[in-house]
Amino acid sequence: MKIILIIFLFIFSMCNSNNSTERYFSEKEHKSERRERNNRDMDTRLIGTWLNTEVLGADGSDGMSFSTEYFMEFRESGTVLTWTGRSAGSGMSMDSDEANADRGEWYTEGEILHLVDPATKQEATTYYTVDDSRLLLSDGGSQKKIWELINQ
């Protein structure tokens, strides 16, 4: 069985900090649309497919760069799918898709997103902020990832 935390470790290499998170999106307050499943809170604004593109070495000095697309799909059922999309750079390219996705469970608690590996029950947490079609995941300090909603 694939280990679901492989991608979670990329996404949440910044997890479990006790620092408070800042607001990086608009200052307007959003009323979270929340629902409960199995006595766990779920922020329904997260439901959909999110994309994060990471680009390395794109400073132009040596002409080498590499980019990778990461996807997360939050479902109403409390399931989260994660997969790597296209990776390309320095003369190579590789594609993957949702068929190769790792599966986990998710729920929210205040501004904290919890991701659970259903096989091991290991849990990763991160701060999150949602504004329209953007999602910020943060450790509450300097580590941040911005995701774009591509399918709701």
Average pLDDT of the segment spanning 19-44? 55
- The percentage of residues in the chain with a pLDDT greater than 90, rounded to a whole number, is 48
Measured between alpha carbons, how far is 86 from 77 in angstroms, rounded to an integer? 27
For residue 12, is pLDDT > 60?
no
Q: List all residues 6 or more positions away from 83 whose beta carbon is below 8 Å from its beta carbon.
A: 7, 70, 71, 96, 97, 98, 100, 101, 102
Q: Which tens digit of pLDDT belongs to each residue from 37-53?
A: 566 899 999 999 999 99
CA 52, CA 102: separation in Å to the nearest integer? 16
8-state DSSP, 99:
G
How many other CB atoms sit within 10 Å of the CB of residue 137?
22
Helix (H), strand (E) at residue 5:
helix 5-11
What is the average pLDDT value for the chain, to the nearest integer? 77
* CB contact at 8 A, 144 and 137: yes
The reported pLDDT for the residue numbered 29 is: 40
Nearest CA to 113 among 46, 52, 49? 46
Q: Which residues have CB under 8 Å from 108's CB, separation 6+?
A: 34, 41, 42, 43, 46, 114, 128
Give DSSP secondary structure letters for 17-47: --SPPPP-S-SS-----EEEETTEEEEGGG-
What gap in Å lies between CA 15 and CA 38, rounded to an integer? 24
pTM for this entry? 0.72
Categorize the per-residue pLDDT at 141 as very low, low, confident or very high, splitting at 50, 70 and 90.
Answer: confident
